[in-house]
Amino acid sequence: MEDFGRAVAEFVRDHQAWAAPIVLLLAFGESLAFISLLIPAWGALVAIGALIGASGISFWPIWLAGGFGAALGDWVSYWFGYRYKEQVAAMWPLSRYPDLLPRGEAFVRKWGVPSIFIGRFFGPLRASVPLAAGIFEMDYVRFQIANFVSALVWAAALLLFGDVIARIMEWLWRVV
């Protein structure tokens, strides 16, 4: 997966006009149930964040694309859970991870709407919490508010983390 992140970041560095659409797709895939279990994209998003200061890519369109992509992924996951309920656990790849959905359900039941925000920042929960919220019919409007706010915060955190790491590395390179 490290090679994937590096390849995507190199492509974005060479083709900056594609940065926002690529970030949107990566964030969507990272937040979409099923897909995020197969292709974790957060490393590529951090690597693209490192390019923001280093190559002059504008933060704002990349951040909005990442936030929108992540929110859209959770929106689709919520809808899928709401629509297919009990059938979801038997579908691949969730059928290979039988404890994932019950953990997501317990998390949603315990924390309610804040579970959407918290779950966004923790690996497997990122994909299972919106799915569980849909299955257990969390209030749609409250879900979407938490979804969009947390998606924007999550996208900013990943991109800024990459940018800060790149600036620290640049400073260390000059000092040492």
Q: What is the DSSP string of 46-105?
A: HHHHHHHHHH---HHHHHHHHHHHHHHHHHHHHHHHHHHGGGGGGSTTGGG-TTHHHHHH
pLDDT(161) > 90: yes
Residue 37: the pLDDT is 67
pTM over 0.85: yes
Domain extent, residue 139, equals: 2-175
Over the stretch 47-95, which tens digit does the pLDDT of each residue have? 899 998 778 889 999 999 999 999 999 999 999 999 998 788 788 777 8
Residue 1: the pLDDT is 56
Cα(55)–Cα(157) distance, integer angstroms? 19
Q: Tell me if 25 sits within 8 A of 65, measured CB to CB.
A: no
- Give the pLDDT band of residue 5 (cuts 50, 70, 90): confident
Region 124-140 average pLDDT: 86
- Give the pLDDT band of residue 19 (cuts 50, 70, 90): very high
Number of domains comprising the chain: 1
Cα(83)–Cα(1) distance, integer angstroms? 32
Average pLDDT taken over every residue of the chain: 88
Cα(167)–Cα(19) distance, integer angstroms? 19
